């Protein structure tokens, strides 16, 4: 999953500058920062805020409001499990809870070996194939315990 590069303030400023001309540049900047570094480093928040002429608190509010923005680097693989209504009606909460217990993680947590990060997501548009998931941005439908265990094993072995 991660082809991210280490934090670099100069590179971050290049990314910010490349997006400043957009209407409503905050989200495109944050997405680009996360794409480059694998997360939105704390050091990026005041830098982006200053460039957008908004307060750090406002920028922090944006970053923390959208749960897709990571505050720490993700594992080599990212598994997003849908927690929206359709998936809940098909047992996703129990499947996820049991899986998290088996892999000894909490939502948003990364395995100690850095192999897997498990995140919650709220609707992947896979409602007809609930419960749904994304594994390294690949959609997966009709997720069950066995499938999740296979993905965790694949993550550990890659």
Binding residues for [2Fe-2S] cluster, as ranges, are 82, 87, 123, 127
Report the distance separating Cα 109 and Cα 119, nearest Å: 7
Hunting for tokens 């970053």 — which residue is that?
63
Q: Please report, in range form, the residues annotated as the binding site.
A: 82, 87, 123, 127
Q: State the pairing for strand pair 138-140/133-135.
A: antiparallel
90: tokens are 């098909």
Contact 57, 18 (CB under 8 A): no
């Amino acid at each position: 999953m991660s082809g991210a590069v280490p934090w670099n303030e100069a590179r971050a400023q290049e990314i910010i500058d490349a997006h400043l001309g957009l209407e409503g540049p905050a989200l495109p900047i944050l997405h680009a920062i996360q794409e480059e570094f694998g997360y939105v480093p704390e050091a990026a928040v005041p830098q982006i805020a200053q460039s957008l002429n908004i307060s750090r608190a406002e920028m922090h509010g944006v970053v923390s409001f959208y749960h897709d923005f990571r505050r720490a680097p993700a594992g080599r693989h990212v598994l997003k499990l849908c927690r929206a209504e359709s998936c809940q009606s098909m047992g996703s909460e129990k499947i996820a809870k049991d899986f998290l217990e088996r892999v000894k993680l909490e939502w948003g947590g990364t395995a100690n070996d850095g192999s897997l990060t498990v995140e919650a997501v709220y609707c992947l548009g896979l409602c007809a194939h609930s419960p749904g998931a994304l594994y390294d941005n690949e959609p997966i439908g009709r997720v069950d315990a066995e499938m999740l265990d296979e993905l965790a094993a694949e993550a550990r072995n890659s």
